[in-house]
């Protein structure tokens, strides 16, 4: 009888020499274990590659043009400022939440100017506090109905009231931005005429147009001050221009809105669109964002200081 031991398998007999390193011997019966080991090693290698491989991004980087900013103001991406606003904003964000969109062109802004609420003339402080109180009342009514909605189906009348409360919340937040913008235009920049929306009443701009347009005079030169007004944590909107989604504050957005205004059936708005186009070409337009944030201090919502940032156009 041979002294050579044998390993029997269902399909074959493989002789094993004495003294041979059995760990290097291929065992068909253990094929699944070997495969699993290879997979684990490959998975570990994949994870290591993922950690070292640069992450791809869809963000398009806007070049900085010093000629567009004589003061060499630090350029900040609009989305970075949005994150800053989110960090200080009150917990309730439902009024401004939207489904995220793919943006092809982001706005670039200069460093924000801070205007203290306590430094405003009493009239503006009072008007803004009134809108802030109206917002709080509408939110309370809205929250009551939404809590009831989690327990049972609302009646048609209750649904109508909920829709109204949500609309009132949004409108009060919008008016905060409008009031802050009026303060900045009149009291800080010395504007005397609001050319859009026309008149001296509450500002009610139409969708697809600038929030406010003022005429200002600097060193004898007439200019247009174009404002995007934002209340609470409202974000910059977007618009489709020539197949691209562009953000408020970009050159593409400005040109798209002024072109839309030029085609308006109202001859005054159409003329304003043409005037803005010419002024933009001549460098006599200042385009800014005015934000009236709501912040939390000592677990209580209060009006924050007004922030004004200038859009840097190409």
Q: What is the DSSP letter of 242?
A: T
Least Cα distance to 307 among 228, 210, 246, 237 occurs for: 228
- Which residues are paired to 35 by β-bridges? none
- Which residues are paired to 307 by β-bridges? 114, 291
Q: Where are the alpha helices (DSSP H) in the chain?
A: 31-52, 78-88, 122-149, 156-183, 251-262, 267-282
Cα dist from 20 to 3, 49, 66, whole Å: 14, 37, 75
Spell out, as residue ranges, where the chain has pLDDT lower than 70. 1-101, 201-207
Determine the pLDDT at residue 28: 45
Determine the pLDDT at residue 202: 64
CB 286 within 8 A of CB 81: no
CB 138 within 8 A of CB 172: yes
Q: At 288, which helix (H) or strand (E)?
A: strand 285-292
* CA-CA-CA-CA dihedral for 121, 122, 127, 130, to nearest 10: 140
- Dist. CA 181–CA 268, nearest whole Å: 22
Q: Token pair of 7, please?
A: 């390993």
Q: Token pair of 292, please?
A: 């009236």
Determine the pLDDT at residue 263: 93
pTM: 0.68
Determine the pLDDT at residue 101: 65
pLDDT in tens, 106-152: 999 999 999 999 999 999 999 999 999 999 999 999 999 999 999 99
Chain centre to alpha carbon of residue 192? 31
Q: Where are the domains of the chain?
A: 66-310
CB 93 within 8 A of CB 124: no
Chain centre to alpha carbon of residue 242? 21
- Dist. CA 206–CA 144, nearest whole Å: 31
Whether a cis peptide bond, with omega within 30° of 0, leads into 78 is: no
pLDDT in tens, 181-227: 999 999 999 998 899 998 776 666 666 789 999 999 988 899 999 99
């Amino acid at each position: 009888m041979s002294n050579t031991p044998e390993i029997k398998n269902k399909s074959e007999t493989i002789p094993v020499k004495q003294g041979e390193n059995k760990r290097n011997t291929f065992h068909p019966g253990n094929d699944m274990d070997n495969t699993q080991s290879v997979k684990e090693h490959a998975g570990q290698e994949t994870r290591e590659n993922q950690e070292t491989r640069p992450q791809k991004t869809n963000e398009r980087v806007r070049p900085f043009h010093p000629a567009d900013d004589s003061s060499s103001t630090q350029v900040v991406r609009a989305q970075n400022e949005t994150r800053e606003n989110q960090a200080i904003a009150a917990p309730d964000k439902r009024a401004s939440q939207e489904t995220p969109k793919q943006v092809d062109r982001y706005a670039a802004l200069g460093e924000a100017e801070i205007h203290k609420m306590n430094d405003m003339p009493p009239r503006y402080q009072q008007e803004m506090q009134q809108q802030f109180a109206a917002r709080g009342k509408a939110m309370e009514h809205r929250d009551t109905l939404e809590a009831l909605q989690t327990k049972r189906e609302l009646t048609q009348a209750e649904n109508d009231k909920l829709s109204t409360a949500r609309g009132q919340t949004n409108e009060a937040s919008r008016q905060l931005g409008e009031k802050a913008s009026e303060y900045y235009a009149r009291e800080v920049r010395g504007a005397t005429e609001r050319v859009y929306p026309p008149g001296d009443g509450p500002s009610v701009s139409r969708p697809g147009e600038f929030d406010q347009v003022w005429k200002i005079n600097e060193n004898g030169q007439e200019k247009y001050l174009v404002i995007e007004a934002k209340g609470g944590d409202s974000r910059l909107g977007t618009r489709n221009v020539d197949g691209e989604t562009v953000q408020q504050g970009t050159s593409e957005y400005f040109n798209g809105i002024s072109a839309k205004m030029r085609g308006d059936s109202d001859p005054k708005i159409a003329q304003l669109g043409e005037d803005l186009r010419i002024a933009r070409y001549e460098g006599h337009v200042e385009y800014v964002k005015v934000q009236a944030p709501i912040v939390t201090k000592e677990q209580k919502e209060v009006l924050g200081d007004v922030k004004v940032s200038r859009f840097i156009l190409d």
